[in-house]
Chains A and B, each alone.
Chain A
Amino acid sequence: MHPAGPAAAVIAQLWWVLLAGATAIFLFVAALIALAWRRPPGETQERRFVVWLGLVFPMTVLAALLAYGLVVGERLLPRATPDLVRVAAEARQWDWRFGYEDAPGRETENVLHIPAGRPVDVAITSVDVVHGFWVPRLAGKLDAMPGHVNVLRLEADAPGRYEGLGSEFNGAGYRDHRFTVIAHDEAGWQSFLQGETP
């Protein structure tokens, strides 16, 4: 994971926290099991295992984790900001078409242009089957459902080209159902909106 935007970055950080916690819990459980062979038989308290380890321990961990996840989730929500850019993504077998609120009538195929450093809302839909919209380095994924419009917030920190993928199996052309996201600097974005192809 090489995050290149704020959304992907918090998710990457979340992953490292999850991995550390999971490893610790796994080692703890493994040690408990190994100890069963190492200790002399004797009284074992049911309450200690069932209530403390079985109920209290996971509930504490999970409550903390859930709170963390919800806070991260809030940060990823498409909220209103003044410099927001709106684009539309329309999926079909096996193509992507993109439209731009700031340049009505402009449509690009398999290439999505966005400005770098500004939040972008992608309104995602499909004209045939269910597809998934995913730019791994910029944000999580969201499905393209026929008849529905789902909005995904993404943002690229720096100008550049980012790979995008269809992420919901959609038949024979699934492997190559890709697109490219081009994040422009401010000048490049303006010239794109003016209709020049960079």
Chain B
Amino acid sequence: MNALRRHRALSRIWASEPGLKGWFTTVNHTDLGRMFLFVATVFFVIGGILAMLIRAQLASPRSAFLGPDHYNQIFTMHGTIMMFLFAIPFFEGLAVYLLPKMLGTRDLAFPRLTAYGFWCYVFGGAMMIFALLAGIAPDSGWFMYPPLSSTIGAPGINSDFWLIGITFVEISAISAAVEITVTVLRYRAPGMKLSQMPIFAWYALVTAVMILTGFPPLILGSILLELERAFGLPFFQVAQGGDALLWQHLFWLFGHPEVYIIFLPAAGAISTILPVMARTTLMGYGWIVASAVSLGVLSFGLWVHHMFTTGIPHMGLAFFSAASTLVAVPTAVQIFAWIGTLWKGRPVMHLPMLWLLAFFATFVIGGLTGVMVAIVPFDWQAHDTYFIVAHLHYVLIGGFVFPMIAALYYWMPHFTGRRTYFKLGHAAFWLVVPGFHGTFLALHWAGLLGMRRRIDSFAPGQGWEAINIIASISSFVMAIGFALVLIDVVVNAVVAVRGSRDPWGAGTLDWAMPTPAAPYNFASLAHVTSRDPLHEDPDLPVRLARGEGYLGDPTRGRRETLSLDIASGTPRYMVVFPGNSALPMLMSAVTGLFFLGMLIKAYWLVPISAIGVIACALVWVWGLGRSTTEGALPVGRGLSLVPATEVPDPPGWWGSVFLLLANGTFFGSLLFGYAFLFTIAPNWPPPSYLEPGALPLILVLMGAGLVFFGSRLGALMGAGAALAGLVLIAGTSLPVLSQSPDPTRHAYDATVWVFVGYGLLHCLVSLLMWSVVAARRLSGHSAQTTLGAMRVARLWSDYTLLVALLSAAAIGLPGVLT
């Protein structure tokens, strides 16, 4: 079989459906990556237009262009869109597109989940844009501090759009993060050790784990606030034992890691592009990995630095001030390693390099002002002024947007298969970068002169006029520059001439394929033994196309790839990916109905759509099973491996592990919130605690025992025992709730209801999973091919019983102790 026939055969197997239908049924990471990037760019344009409105309003004093009601919606949505609908999804898109290619594999670990996440993002984003156009957008600031964002300060539907829409969009962040984690750990080119991964994969891995542990506090906060708004559960109302500070803790527990979730992917792109531009290798690979990991860890210790002015005790301030300055150290390691890389090589001033220089100039200033505001006394003056606005734009635009434009120009030949041709990009650069500094350098000073954030206009005579008009004019110059970048991309994609493979002379596997990429990426998978396989073996692309790697034989007619041992990169089993399907889009549409029902308070729609989601999920899962075993099959280069359906740790098990990491963080945040209210909030204790009786205690312990031991008895016996145990656990909610009948009475009662609701949800999920396992066995699937599914179900039921025991202890203990 020659290379062309192999290409045709593989394309038939892997291609998305032709025409319009293909957009809705594709599960291919190249397509979905491009779609993610496109939609994120659309949101960037929308957010940018809002920014222009803000600068138009503030160009002159006493502006009558916008009133406070519109202005408040506009700045809230500007922040919300740029953070949640542009920055994070843009990273997801880039990672979805690039990671499998850089790692030398054929797709992400869960192709249908990629599509599901994408459509959740599109539908959730559309909700937000609808609110904006209808003039009912959130208007309490992008961090939505209650009580202002709750029913007291915002009785309309505005805040609900934020809480429900953003939570819906976060599904895409969580699913992309699970996917990226499992892909980086288990789906690489055979032989590629962890220490040989492209540096971008390390950054993506750290970012993904941070999303899994950083987003759950926000999701919890949003759910609690929505419960307060919709049903009066008083989590943030001080009179009934809630506390507005709880929201600030949950929000910044997410919000500070979020800054690094945005910065790290950009740093990954820099670490990838810079050595290529300097025609050398990255200096200090190990140091850079270590500093990315430590940034990830440290960033979770910083959240309080957004709350220096909330009256935190002085010792606490000192600790968090120290942690906040400490985080500059790993950043400095990376910056100086990059400069060292430039010294080591012979840098060339291509367009991506130019944008990287803009990154250095901007981000270093942003980092230095960041150190300034980490010093508590200075923050007491600068907090909530334009100094902070300027600082955060230096960090986010300098630390994310500029490197992403460098990445765009670096990978554009890959996206389009064409040579970048025109000089428009240079003109754009000279508009954006001076325009940016003209805007935000000036605004630092406005902040020091006392100009507060979020005021909708200002009075003349305070010395702010000149600064603001300079900032406004510069910001429009910057906007024209961004528009030129977009025009440049479109023009290049449409009319530029075909380019060569690997135009920059890079060494990573993403350039070891013809561009634009074929749907299967690699005609056969490389065996990798170094960090820059293309430098090691320049003929590698040709040999892969000839089918000399793994899985070069398309005769089985399925989408096949390999899964590896995490550390060593030894191939472990073969994975068969599902084909094109409209199910992900359908399921996210039904998920959307669930959120819509909550939003417009059409509560009848909520259970109906929940059942719809369950039905979709069952169809989804059922299709993964296989009734008979195949045994070891040849995968090329003399190796034979069993398929994933016959191993104890299939991809779904790994995905569950990381999803449970996020889920456990959610539950941990709930415990934290409860402990916080218990110890800090005024108006505690509640009128009464639960009086723990013997009956519920016995029920929970019996249930837990049945689930734990029963689920280890094999598929059918185990399923029966687990089902019975889960019903017992669920049953304890009745005596608990009968003692705490009114969740609106006190934050304690509200918390009890949330614990019970969370536990019941997990009982339901575990019940469904064990039912699928039992149904598979009963319909004749072999024990071997249900083993993986059974271990997934056991993982979830074990988690459920753990949650049940911890919840019981948490809500019962105060009653025992008092």
- A interface vs B, CB < 8 Å? 1, 8, 10-11, 14-15, 18, 22, 25-26, 29-30, 32-33, 35-37, 39, 41, 44, 46, 48-50, 53-55, 57-59, 62, 65-66, 68-70, 72-73, 76-77, 93, 128-130, 132, 136, 139-143, 145-148, 150-151, 165, 167-175
Contact = CB atoms under 8 A, between A and B. Distances in A.
A73 B315 CA distance: 11
A77 B314 contact: yes
Contact of A1 (B332, B342, B375, B449): B449
B726 to A, nearest CB: 40
A22 B357 CA distance: 18
Contact of A41 (B335, B346, B379, B456): B346
A170 B72 CA distance: 10
Contacts of A26: 364-365, 368
A37 B347 contact: yes
B231 interface: no
Interface stretch (B147-155, B653-661, B732-740): B147-155
A100 to B, nearest CB: 21
A29 B364 contact: yes
B380 A29 contact: no
Given A130-B147, A130-B148, 8 more contacts: A1-B449, A30-B361, A36-B347, A54-B337, A66-B321, A132-B383, A141-B383, A172-B72
Nearest to A30: B361
B377 A72 contact: yes
A49 B153 contact: no
Contacts of B798: none
Given A22-B368, A32-B339, A169-B453, A54 B332 contact: yes
7 contacts: A30-B364, A66-B325, A66-B375, A129-B147, A140-B309, A171-B72, A171-B154
B333 interface: yes
A132 B368 CA distance: 26
A10 B377 contact: yes
B83 to A, nearest CB: 16
Interface string B375-411: 1111111011100000000000000000000000000
B148 A46 contact: no
Nearest to B681: A147
Contact of A140 (B153, B346, B372, B380): B380
Contacts of B365: 22, 26
A138 to B, nearest CB: 11
A175 B145 contact: no
B360 A33 contact: yes
Nearest to B285: A46
Contacts of B154: 171
Contact of A50 (B337, B347, B448, B457): B337
Interface string B125-161: 0000000000000011100011110001110000000
A69 B375 contact: yes
A56 B243 CA distance: 42
Nearest to B360: A33
Q: Which of A10, A49, A170, A172 has the most CB of B within 10 A?
A: A49
A66 B329 CA distance: 13
Contacts of A46: 283-284, 287, 337, 340
Contact of A175 (B343, B344, B449, B455): B455
A122 to B, nearest CB: 12
Given A26-B364, A53-B332, A171-B153, A15 B683 contact: no
Contacts of A145: 244-245, 310-311
B781 interface: no
A71 B238 CA distance: 34
B321 A148 contact: no
Closest 7 CB pairs of A and B: A140-B380, A147-B238, A49-B340, A150-B311, A54-B333, A36-B342, A69-B375
A18 B244 contact: no
B455 A143 contact: no
Contacts of A173: 68
Contact of A169 (B69, B141, B360): B141
A87 to B, nearest CB: 16
B381 A141 contact: yes
Given A29-B360, A46-B283, A50-B333, A143 B314 contact: no
A169 B344 CA distance: 49
B452 A167 contact: yes
A46 to B, nearest CB: 5
Interface in B563-622: none
B780 to A, nearest CB: 60
A58 B328 CA distance: 7
Contact of B381 (A22, A37, A93, A136): A136
A11 B381 contact: yes
A73 B317 contact: yes
A18 B153 CA distance: 38
Contact of A29 (B238, B318, B339): B339
Given A50-B287, A130-B145, A143-B311, A39 B380 contact: no
A62 B326 contact: yes
B501 interface: no
Contacts of A69: 321, 375-378
B671 interface: no
